[in-house]
Chain A
Amino acid sequence: MMNWIALQTILRKEMVRILRIWPQTLLPPAITMSLYFVIFGHVIGSKIGLIDGYHYSQFIAPGLVMMSVILNAYGNVSSSFFSAKFTHSIQELMVAPVSEWTILIGYTLGGVIRGLLVGIVVLIVASLFTHIPIQHFFSMLAILLISAWLFSLAGFLNALFANSFDDISIIPNFILTPLTYLGGVFYSIQVLPSPWNIIAHFNPILYLMNGFRYGMLGISDVSPAIGLFIAVIVSASLAILCYILLKRGWGLRQ
């Protein structure tokens, strides 16, 4: 059962948090992405030439947006929910008549909102450096939303299991960031030598990255439909897993 007012309250709380700590949430991606566009887009990109008919700075733009969305959606939920666990302020929600679905959807939508806000910031930064065409708007939006929700759910799962702040930084630092970089942000996997171009297909982020690139530029190394399908299946599975753990009070109740 959904408690709509509680859902709005969680979302409002998350929004206030994101905007209150904007130097931690919105500013760093803007600076980092500006550097990426200056260094990779202009300095190095001018030597690379066109990829599938696009300048290098245009080619990397979708990947940089998606990378920011993924990392920020994940980071928002893992840090917000774990902080609530750490300070025991999560008890404010646990004693209230708020269903597990409401808590899960509230926190993960908070991650989606942060992901989208950062995505918009990066898009604005990108548009300052290069022309950003949008070929398939609804495909782009769909893959962006589902990716943000997927990684919000993953961040929630991480926070449920985490016992220390180290535990919520291990996965983003040692798994998520490498997979994102290897997911084709800066290159097409067609340029990889064998067997790496085959191995790259086992990286789920590759499908999301290329799905988004298809939406923006109309080009992709893999089928965008497969990316969307994988994202929906994984998101649904993660949502069910998080719900079951939350219902059992995993990491929350004694």
Chain B
Amino acid sequence: MRHALTAQNLVKIYGSGKMALDHVNLAIAEGDFFALLGPNGAGKSTFIGIVSSLVTKTEGTVHVFGHSIDDEILKAKQLIGIVPQEFNFNIFNRTFDVVVTQAGYYGVPFKQAKASAEDCLQQLGLWEKRFEAVRFLSGGMKRRLMIARALVHQPKLLILDEPTAGVDIELRRSLWVYLEKLNQQGLTILLTTHYLEEVEILCRNVAIIDQGRILVEKPVHSLLADLNGETFILDIDGILTETPTLESFSCRLISPNSIEMDLREGQTVNELFQVLDAAGIRVLSLRNKFNRLEELFIRLTGHSTERNMQKNEEGAE
């Protein structure tokens, strides 16, 4: 199996002393649709930054289709298309010029670059805006322009750093359809995200990263199979002063009149109610706690993404 991207013992320690990547090992097969999933500050953008030469690694090796970024950086770069998380245009340039210029940087001759730019802008629905300065485009259009810019030189590996962060549902879904189509055409895609839903819909393989370490790397279906339980929030009649001890079910008191309960594989809601009845707890209402990523993180790391984010904010201060 040929690898589109491999990273071995990749370490990044920033000047502040923060270890952003801690001996990361990752292998992405050619043609894969791979997700790097993790909360903010987990190391996703640092990883992508190293692969795309925007961040200098401290240790380790990275190969893109067998080309080392240490010895054959230009060959490696030629094969990659990057869609960064933040807009990084010269906002005074015209949409068409942005894409044509990028093609030129990748060595595409001017005439061919113009044809390729037209093709990319057409596909992403931006052709009508080709003479518009970037500053006049909407956020969604800018996001699509970044994808057009990344594809204009026909890369073999497309890297998208949280492409749907802050994007409305309609655009998010249209981007998903477009990315799926690209992948079906043979393009290897690496996507970072903190939306588990995005991973479920798009990706075949996933790695979960937290605090610079890869916690798990496996096929998406296998990871989701591990998430075979559900958590419910129950509003109860009366006041509880302490967490009730319930046979077979784990329970957490989240306020004096609501509790959170886990339902594992094989357990039923009927059994849950029987246990609550036996404990004399009357349930007024019940709702599903729909945050599977949160649950995944708690299982894998023993802490929540919120705690992770809090830690990052403290670090930033």
Q: Which residues of A contact B (CB under 8 A)?
A: 1, 3, 5-6, 8-9, 12-13, 16, 20, 83-84, 87-89, 91-99, 249, 253-254
Q: Is B203 an interface residue (CB 8 A)?
A: no
Residue contacts A-B, CB under 8 angstroms, 16 given? A1-B74, A5-B108, A6-B107, A16-B97, A83-B90, A87-B88, A87-B91, A91-B88, A92-B88, A95-B80, A96-B77, A97-B74, A97-B77, A97-B106, A99-B74, A253-B54
Q: Which of A3, A93, A98, A253 contacts B55 (CB 8 A)?
A: A253
Using known A-B contacts A83-B90, A88-B88, determine if residue A98 contacts B105 with beta carbons closer than 8 Å.
Answer: yes
Q: Is the CB of A94 within 8 A of B86?
A: no
Chain A residue at minimal CB-CB distance from B108: A5
Q: Which 7 A-B pairs have the closest CB atoms?
A: A9-B104, A96-B105, A88-B88, A97-B74, A97-B77, A89-B90, A97-B78
Q: Which of B89-142 contact A (CB under 8 A)?
A: 89-92, 97, 101-102, 104-110
Q: Is B40 an interface residue (CB 8 A)?
A: no
The interface centre, meaning the residue of A12, A83, A93, A96 with most chain B CB atoms within 10 A of its CB, is A96
Please, which residues of chain B bring their CB within 8 A of the CB of A98?
Answer: 74, 105
Question: Bound state CA distance, A156 and B136, in angstroms?
Answer: 30
Please, which residues of chain B bring their CB within 8 A of the CB of A12?
Answer: 101, 104, 110
Q: Which of B77, B89, B109 contacts A89 (CB 8 A)?
A: B89
Please, which residues of chain B bring their CB within 8 A of the CB of A91?
Answer: 54, 84, 88
Q: Is B156 an interface residue (CB 8 A)?
A: no
Question: Bound state CA distance, A94 and B102, in angstroms?
Answer: 11
Give chain A nearest CB distance to B123 CB in angstroms. 20
Q: Is the CB of B49 within 8 A of A9?
A: no
Please, which residues of chain B bring their CB within 8 A of the CB of A5?
Answer: 104, 107-110
Q: Is the CB of B149 within 8 A of A92?
A: yes
Q: Which of B56, B75, B108 contacts A249 (CB 8 A)?
A: B56
Using known A-B contacts A16-B97, A83-B90, A87-B89, determine if residue A94 contacts B104 with beta carbons closer than 8 Å.
Answer: no
Q: Is the CB of B90 within 8 A of A95?
A: no
Q: Is the CB of A94 within 8 A of B108?
A: no
Q: Which of B141-158 contact A (CB under 8 A)?
A: 149
Question: Bound state CA distance, A89 and B55, in angstroms?
Answer: 15
Question: Bound state CA distance, A196 and B180, in angstroms?
Answer: 73
Q: Is the CB of B90 within 8 A of A87?
A: yes
Other A-B pairs beyond A20-B92, A94-B52, 9, CB < 8 Å: A3-B74, A8-B110, A16-B97, A92-B88, A94-B54, A95-B52, A97-B74, A253-B55, A254-B56
Q: Is the CB of A92 within 8 A of B107?
A: no
Q: Which of B29-84 contact A (CB under 8 A)?
A: 49, 52-56, 73-75, 77-78, 80, 82, 84
Q: Is B14 an interface residue (CB 8 A)?
A: yes
Using known A-B contacts A87-B89, A89-B88, A91-B84, determine if residue A96 contacts B106 with beta carbons closer than 8 Å.
Answer: yes
Question: Bound state CA distance, A109 and B29, in angstroms?
Answer: 42
